[in-house]
Amino acid sequence: MNEESRRIPVTTDQDVVRVRQLVRTVAVEAKLSLVDQTKLVTAASELARNTLVYGGGGTIEVSRVRNEIRAGIRIVFADQGPGIADLDLAFTDGYTTGGGLGLGLSGARRLVDEFEIETEVGKGTTITVTKWCR
């Protein structure tokens, strides 16, 4: 079940900063531990930057969610960029197309509890991550 949802367009570096700030605020509101707040903000920052740099910009939607057992935060990163041609390669630690450390997707996946990706070459990428309260 979704509670309140907040959406931010990501078209500039300043928008990536705004995403980090929003995720931190919602994580505090949801009472995530400080460690889990840091993990989620780090993952969101990396994925928002990927949305901007590789997807050409897009939108980020941050929602507080609840299932039968616990509350959490779900973030959806969506772009209409070129998509990811080889997901297995993209998830390989050290692989990069942009000169970074190559820990983006695989690192973000390790920092959250749930990670889903839908991508189609020429159509874009949507990544949904969830971090649950402990």
> Helix H segments across the chain?
13-29, 34-53, 87-90, 104-111
Residue with tokens 């995530």: 32
Which CATH class, in words, describes the domain spanning 5-132? alpha beta
Give DSSP secondary structure letters for 107-124: HHHHHSSEEEEEEETTTE
- 12: how many CB neighbours lie within 10 A of its CB? 11
Cα–Cα–Cα angle for 34, 126, 115, rounded to 5 degrees: 45
pLDDT value at residue 101: 44
Report the C-alpha gap between 25 and 17 in whole angstroms: 12
pLDDT value at position 41?
Answer: 96
Q: Give me the pLDDT at residue 102, please.
A: 44
CA gap 77, 23 in Å, rounded: 12
Going by C-alpha positions, the residue among 39, 48, 46, 47 that lies closest to residue 10 is 48
Residue 122, CA distances (Å) to 54, 59, 105 in order: 12, 17, 19
Query: Whole-model pTM above 0.95?
Result: no
Predicted pLDDT of residue 91: 77
Q: Which pLDDT value is given to residue 99? A: 52
Sequential pLDDT tens for the chain (134 residues)? 556 799 999 999 999 999 999 999 999 999 999 999 999 999 999 999 999 999 999 999 999 999 889 999 999 999 999 998 888 887 776 656 655 544 578 889 999 999 999 999 999 999 999 999 98
| pLDDT score of 95 | 59
